[in-house]
Amino acid sequence: MDGSGLKEAFCEIYAENSSEKALSGHAYARAIRGHFLVQLALSELIFSSMELSDTEKGLMDTFLLDLGTEHFGDNLHHEDLKTIKDKFIEHLTSIQKKRSYRKTLDTVLANGLISKRFH
């Protein structure tokens, strides 16, 4: 985990001592929340740099609004959603080739996405 930028990301969310406890497993709930927020910030960064049509953006909005409802399972098999998933994987692969995850995480921290969105 050294050099991944995860500790720095957690320090944006929590105080340094709290971050160390979360990363060492002594503060389980805090660790889960921290990992979730980092994943969400990275996903937002990746999705915001993707080229999606207005239709695809609308489908993503609908899909996110349906989370936890009876329609959620139906959306998982939607052909356009599979296309978006394929675009996401392709885009993520191109990011991995161009940059390290560390640089991507540094970008998230530099943009303040974590602290702006979730404090």
pLDDT band at residue 102 using 50, 70 and 90 as cut-offs: low
What is the per-residue pLDDT for 114? Answer: 54
Q: Give a yes or no: residue 77 inside a domain.
A: yes
SS3 55: helix
Domain count of the fold of the chain: 1
pLDDT digits (tens, 9 = 90+) for 4-19: 778 888 888 888 888 8
Assigned domain for 62 exists:
yes
Distance from C-alpha of 92 to C-alpha of 97, rounded to nearest angstrom:
9
Contact 9/16 with Cβ under 8 angstroms?
no
- Confirm whether 48 is domain-assigned: yes
- What digits encode the pLDDT tens for the residues 61-70? 888 888 878 8
Q: Does a structural domain hold residue 1?
A: no
Give the domain extent around 49. Answer: 6-118
Tell me the pTM: 0.63
Residue 99 lies in a domain: yes
Longest alpha-carbon distance in the chain: 46
